[in-house]
Each structure stands twice: as C-alpha cells, then as structure tokens.
Chain A
Amino acid sequence: MYKNKHVFARCHRITEILYLLMVAFSFYLLLTSRTGEAHTIWEVLNPYFIPTLLATTFLLITILFTSEKVSYKLILVIAHSILIHSFFSIVLPAGDLSAQRMTLGRIRLVYDNAVLHGYTPWNMGLLSQIYEWFRGITFQAALSVVLARMLSIDLLWVHLFLVPVLWGVFVPVASFLTAKIISKEENVALFSSLLISAFPYATYFGAISVSNSLGFVFFFYSLYFMLKDFSSNDSRNKILMLVFSFFSLLSHNLTGIMSLSLLILALAFKSYKSEKNSSPTAAKASLLISFIFCASLLPLSFVYLRYFQPATYTLSDTAFTLNKFSDRPIEEIVGLFFLGELTYAFDLKTTLLFIIGPTIALLWMMLYILHFVKRSSDVEFKTCIFFVFAVLSIVLVDYRIMKLFMERLPINEERLWVFQDFLAVPFVALAIYDVRSSVKGYLNARPAPIVSIADLKTLSRRSILSLSSVILALNIVIPMFLAGWIALSVNAAYPHVAPLQTTWYELEAVKYIEENTHEKYVVIGDQWTTFAGEAIVGVNNPRAYYFLEFNRTVYDLFHKMLEDPSPQVMIESMNVNNATVAYFIVTEPRLGIEEFNRVVSQTLKNQQLRVLGVFGGGKLYVFAYKKT
C-alpha cells in the first residue's frame, strides 16, 4: 500500500514536471512566432503551438483529476492561464492594435510627467474632472507607472503584461473560490478555475491591457465576497466586498455600476432572509422591487453619464429608443435577442463556442434550482444559488435592453458577456463534474471490482468492453474533449481579421525620431503613425506631439501633405505645441505602393524637406523640416 502511494507520488511529480516543461515550450513557441509585420497572430503563430497547447491542456486536466494538493494544482492552472492570455503581448511588438494601445498612449503622458493630475486633456468643469479621475484610465495609469518605476522597466512592457499577468493569476483563483462556495467541492472549483479559459470573450479581455479588464477582475472578487457574506457574519467580508466594489468602480464605470447593483441586490437578499418568516409577502415584494431596480441601474447609468462627461466626448448622447424595431426586419431582431452580435459576424462553430458555456450553465442552474435547491435544507446554499441566478438574469436582461432598446452607447454591449461568463463557469464545471461522477458511479456499481488484469478473465467479453469504454471515457475522452474545447475557444478568442498591426519599422522610426530630436517636435502622419507613437511617447505629448488617433486637424494636414508636400503645412502643424521641428511620415503598406511612390518622389523633389531616415528597407520614409 505504502509502495503504491510512493509510486503514485512519483508519477504525479513526473507529470507535473512534464506539464511545466510543455508550458515552457509553449512560451518558447510563442516567442519564436514574434513578428514585426502581421495582421493577426494567427498569420505567424508557430504551427506546433496549437497542438502543443492541446497536449498541455490535456495533461493539466489529467493532473486536476489526481489527488495532488489544491494549491499546487492552482499554480499549474495559473501558469496555463498566463500562457493563453499572453499571445498579443509576446507575438506582436507593441501588442494588439486596439483600445489597449490608446490606453498606453495616454498613460505614457503620466510616465513622462507630461501631464499633471492624470490624463485630463481638456479644460473641464468640476463634475467632468471628477468623472476623469474615476474613468479607470487614471487608476490603471497609476498602477502601471508605479510598477514600471519600481521595476525600472519601460512602460510598454509593464503595460503589455499588466492585465495578462493579473488576469492570469487572479481570475482562476476567483473562479476557484466562487465555484467552491457554490458547489462546496474542491474538484468542481478546480475545473472552474481552468474552464474560465473556455469562454472566448473573457479570454480576449484577459489579453488586452485596458481598464475594463482590471474592473472585471475586481468585480469577480466583489462577487466572491458577496457570496461569502451570505454564509458568514464576519465583518471583514462586508468590508472586502465594499473595497472590491469600489476598485471595480475606480477601474471602469461598467464594472463599478454592476458591482453596485450586486451590492444592493445582496443587501436585499439578506433582508429577505431575515424578514421572510415574519412577513413573507412584503419580503418577496421588496426583493422583486430590488431586482427591478438593480436591473435598471446599468442602462440608466449610461443615459445619465452625459452630465459628467466633457462636451468634447462624441458618444455622450446615449438614449433609449424603439427605432431598432422599426428599422430592422423581425428575423434580425429575433437574432439579436437570442445571439446578440453573433447574429452578424461569425460562423456556426464560433457562435457555438461563444454560447455553449452560458447555455450549459443556465440549463444546469435551472436543473439545480428545480431538483436540488428546493429539497436542500441549507439556507446559505439556497441563497447563494438564487443570488447567482438573479445576477445572471440581470446580466441577460441588461444585455437585451442595451442591445435592442438603446442607441449610441459609449461601449459595445458584448462586454456584458464577461459578467455572464464569470457567473456561468462554476455551473459548467458542476455540470461536467456531475457527468463525470455519473460515469464513475456506473463503474463503481459493477458487480465485480477489478483488482488486477487477471480478474478480467472472470468477466464476460461484453462486460470487459463496457468497462474499458467507461475507463476510456473517464481518463481519455472527457479530458480530451475539455482540452479541445479550451483550444478551440482560445482560437475563437483572438481575432482572425484585423488591420496591419504596428510594424517593427514604424516603431523603429518613432524611436529614432525620439532619440535624435532634442527640441519640441510634431509628427504628421496617418492614424497608424499615431498608434506607433502611442507605444513610445504617447499622444498629445507637448514635447513630442502625436495627434489623437481620429483627430480631424491631423487628417487634413496629412492629406494636404499627400497632395502637395510643402514646408507651409509643416509650419502650420508646429503651432499646435510651438514646435521647432516637424516630421512627415509615410508608410508603403498603409498608403499602397503607387500612392507611396508618388508621395515620396514628390517630397524628395522639395529641397526644403530633408529625409531624416528610411526604415523597413524603403517601406517607411521620415521627412523633416526645421524652423529657421
């Protein structure tokens, strides 16, 4: 017996070491895929990566089935989680070309001490100033800048890895803790910590460094402490749920308002629990009113946000509407109601990957409520399940309200799917665990327990066949199915269509300008040049000025330069920051070969404009003009 235990322990260690080696190999494959010129990561990803990820995930799931210590298993899940959220940060030289780059562009200004009091580029009233402080970017800027200075690492690196690492570490832990409260089973909780990677939208938000992602992390912990508070009277839980709700608000208004709604709902559930015996009707009515109030908070908050936003914000006039019903055919409305944005853009496989998790969770939750919760005498357990069901209902209702009854929202409604994923994952884990337990139960119920191969002789051929198929299902098919699901979800999480990402020569040009200019300067270029500038010096930096991404002035200046490259346009651009040097950048893949060649040859003819540098083997030209 002791010998068997020893052998098992050794097997565990070998499997864990093999798993860690495979994780390291996966990171290496990502590193070898690193490129300076690509549209999506899939164009350049090493062909061995996905099979390796599949095998690594399979190995991890088999480790989760073992009797190893929970903390060790969680560390292995965390390593896996960091791996799958680091694709953008490792493969692309400046990360994904999305909101995360714009965030970096603004945080750069704080890092370079170019602005005071956070990123507040406009003259604003007090309300708008307060709004800017609580916008999330200020909190993310503070965290990134403090970490960058502590580590003495450039902000670009800290920014790129901030969310993938924080998400990779803390979301599986939160998922574990939440699932443990709901299921009271450590194995279900461990599944849950891994299965969060099977939700594509959550994976995407864990891969980009935006303040909303930080907000989601804090939201998950506020949810956990709310659930914990149902079963414990420790005042620390109350403090912690308030603390994490506050940080959720500080990180992003979406997650903040959602946490606030949940706080109110949690209080309503608590008061229902204490009042239901004395006045059941009043308690039920108050719970229902609280539910309706909490569900309406988020949509209403978007409408009233306009009173805080500066007038320069273009998307501040959010309103309720019925226009969508009159403008669109009924099939589209039905599609939007059930599938949301998935109605338009994706193929069947991707749609399935996005909806399978939440659908399983919803079905299992209902099954749980109908069969187990009603019979259970555990009041805290019942409260937890009903609370999670109520929160999921709020998310589902709010998404439909925002999708069908609102217009000009400042965010895309699909961000609510991340809340849905967080709430769904414990129930998906529970469903899988229950299926596995049923198969295991079938195996245990066999009349003749198998002790050794020799015992097989006593069984009929049919019994041997059925037993082997059950063992196969338990140890191979279920882990393989889960590993495949996670790998496919990762594939669906990262975009397959995108514009050309910031190239290595665009970054090199921006760096070269920064290192070789000692005066104030301004850069005229397209929005892609701005995106490159954001990675190195930021936007609206008074010393090194790159215009905002969609700025009309720079659009006009750039097009004037394309039509007629002249110093007058460069001089005009210098007024923006009293610069003495102006640069004009043109890039071949952005303009097209013909247009690029024409602009370059025309600019070269102008003696007043000198070539500062040619990058990317002639794909990018930087022209300079210095005020005399």
Chain B
Amino acid sequence: MKGSLSFNTIERSVVRNKKLKYTAISYSAILAILMNLASFQSPLIGSIASIIYLLINAMFLGNAFFEKESDFFRFMFGILLLTTLLGFVGWLALIIYNLDTLRVTLVLVVVATSSSLLNRRMKHRNVQK
C-alpha cells in the first residue's frame, strides 16, 4: 500500500510536469546517453540514464492514453507505447538514412518531445472533459 502510494506520488508529480521539469530531466538523460556513447561507453551509465528516460516517458504516455486504467496497467501500457514509439521513430530514421549515434539521439529527442506534448495535450483534454 505504501509502495503503491509512493509510486502514485511520483507518477502524479511526473505527469503534472510543472515548468517542464521532467521533460528537462528526460533531455538530460538523453544528453547523458549521448556523452556516454561518445566517450565512456559504460553500460552502467547507459542503463541508469535509459531507465530514467524510459520511466518518465512511459508515465507521460501511459497517462496520456490510459488515465482511466489502474496505476499498474497505466504504467505497463506506457512502457509498451514507448517501446513501440522508439521502434517506429527509429524505423523512420533507418529507412531515411541510418541509425548512428547522432540519429539515435535525434530519435530519443523526438520521442521525448512527442511524449511530453501528448501528456500535456491529453491532460488538458481530460480536464476539459
């Protein structure tokens, strides 16, 4: 119960995204991924930055499309949509040119921006309803 509450608190804070704080954190994670790819190539740094990126954007997407579902299913759907979106934008980048470090970073930026925008747009729509 306590665990669920704390997850809810984090999720609410992320979804509220005051002053685009979490979008900024998501971009910082992308920057960390880029720097890691360019110099350190450490799986530890990569994993930490990726987990932060995945969590934030999964919460955005989960809330944008499944706000009526319970927190568990909202998060699961968020992860599924995020994976799908990463694959799709990556696929577009791949058929247009290729998926080198720079273009993967672009893919991450596009996905993070779309997730953040969808979260804001759907939040407004849900409030209006």
Which residues of A come within 8 Å of B, CB atoms? Answer: 70-71, 74-75, 110-111, 113, 115-118, 133, 138-143, 145-147, 149-153, 166, 169-170, 173, 177, 218, 221, 236, 240, 243, 247, 250
Question: In the complex, which residues of chain A have a beta carbon less than 8 angstroms from the beta carbon of B24?
Answer: none
Question: In the complex, which residues of chain B have a beta carbon less than 8 angstroms from the beta carbon of A113?
Answer: 98-100
Question: In the complex, which residues of chain B have a beta carbon less than 8 angstroms from the beta carbon of A169?
Answer: 76, 79
For the complex formed, measure the closest distance between the CB of A16 and the CB atoms of chain B, giving whole angstroms. Answer: 13
A151 B98 Cβ-Cβ under 8 A: no
A221 B46 Cβ-Cβ under 8 A: no
B47 A116 Cβ-Cβ under 8 A: no
A-B contact pairs, 15 of them (CB 8 A): A110-B98, A110-B99, A133-B91, A133-B95, A142-B90, A143-B90, A147-B50, A149-B101, A149-B104, A150-B46, A152-B43, A152-B47, A153-B46, A177-B73, A247-B88
What per-residue 1/0 map shows which CB atoms of B52-83 lie under 8 Å from chain A? 01000000000001000011110010011001
A71 B72 Cβ-Cβ under 8 A: yes
Q: Which residue of chain B has its CB nearest to the CB of A78? A: B76
For the complex formed, measure the closest distance between the CB of B83 and the CB atoms of chain A, giving whole angstroms. Answer: 7
Question: In the complex, which residues of chain A have a beta carbon less than 8 angstroms from the beta carbon of B76?
Answer: 169-170, 173
Cα–Cα distance between A276 and B19 once the two chains are bound (Å): 53
B95 A143 Cβ-Cβ under 8 A: no
Q: Which residue of chain A has its CB nearest to the CB of B49? A: A150
For the complex formed, measure the closest distance between the CB of A157 and the CB atoms of chain B, giving whole angstroms. Answer: 9
Question: In the complex, which residues of chain B have a beta carbon less than 8 angstroms from the beta carbon of A147?
Answer: 50, 86
Extra pairs beyond A142-B88, A143-B91, A150-B108 (16, CB < 8 Å): A71-B70, A71-B73, A110-B99, A113-B98, A113-B99, A116-B98, A117-B95, A118-B94, A139-B88, A146-B104, A152-B40, A152-B41, A153-B46, A170-B76, A173-B73, A173-B76
Cα–Cα distance between A117 and B80 once the two chains are bound (Å): 25
Cα–Cα distance between A70 and B71 once the two chains are bound (Å): 11
Question: In the complex, which residues of chain B have a beta carbon less than 8 angstroms from the beta carbon of A153?
Answer: 43, 46-47
Question: In the complex, which residues of chain B have a beta carbon less than 8 angstroms from the beta carbon of A151?
Answer: 43, 46-47, 50
**Known A-B contacts A150-B50, A152-B41; A142 and B108 likewise in contact (beta carbons under 8 Å):** no
Cα–Cα distance between A177 and B74 once the two chains are bound (Å): 13
Cα–Cα distance between A145 and B105 once the two chains are bound (Å): 12
Question: In the complex, which residues of chain A have a beta carbon less than 8 angstroms from the beta carbon of B33?
Answer: 149-150, 152
B46 A152 Cβ-Cβ under 8 A: yes
For the complex formed, measure the closest distance between the CB of A485 and the CB atoms of chain B, giving whole angstroms. Answer: 26
B107 A146 Cβ-Cβ under 8 A: yes
B42 A142 Cβ-Cβ under 8 A: no
Cα–Cα distance between A67 and B2 once the two chains are bound (Å): 18
Cα–Cα distance between A71 and B40 once the two chains are bound (Å): 38
Question: In the complex, which residues of chain B have a beta carbon less than 8 angstroms from the beta carbon of A111?
Answer: 99
Question: In the complex, which residues of chain A have a beta carbon less than 8 angstroms from the beta carbon of B42?
Answer: 152
B93 within 8 A of A: yes
Select which of A71, A139, A243 is within 8 A of B91 by beta carbon.
A139
Cα–Cα distance between A149 and B43 once the two chains are bound (Å): 10
Cα–Cα distance between A111 and B99 once the two chains are bound (Å): 7
Question: In the complex, which residues of chain A have a beta carbon less than 8 angstroms from the beta carbon of B53?
Answer: 150
Question: In the complex, which residues of chain A have a beta carbon less than 8 angstroms from the beta carbon of B17?
Answer: none
A150 B104 Cβ-Cβ under 8 A: yes
B37 within 8 A of A: yes
For the complex formed, measure the closest distance between the CB of B63 and the CB atoms of chain A, giving whole angstroms. Answer: 13
B36 within 8 A of A: yes
Cα–Cα distance between A575 and B42 once the two chains are bound (Å): 38
Q: Which residue of chain B has its CB nearest to the CB of A75? A: B72
Question: In the complex, which residues of chain A have a beta carbon less than 8 angstroms from the beta carbon of B43?
Answer: 151-153
Cα–Cα distance between A250 and B93 once the two chains are bound (Å): 15
Cα–Cα distance between A70 and B76 once the two chains are bound (Å): 14
Question: In the complex, which residues of chain A have a beta carbon less than 8 angstroms from the beta carbon of B72?
Answer: 70-71, 74-75
Q: Which residue of chain B has its CB nearest to the CB of A166? A: B83
Cα–Cα distance between A151 and B36 once the two chains are bound (Å): 9
B84 within 8 A of A: yes
Cα–Cα distance between A173 and B97 once the two chains are bound (Å): 35
Cα–Cα distance between A75 and B50 once the two chains are bound (Å): 21
B88 A250 Cβ-Cβ under 8 A: yes
A236 B90 Cβ-Cβ under 8 A: no
B97 A117 Cβ-Cβ under 8 A: yes
Select which of B65, B80, B84, B88 is within 8 A of A236 by beta carbon.
B65
**Known A-B contacts A146-B107, A150-B33, A152-B36; A138 and B80 likewise in contact (beta carbons under 8 Å):** no
A117 B90 Cβ-Cβ under 8 A: no
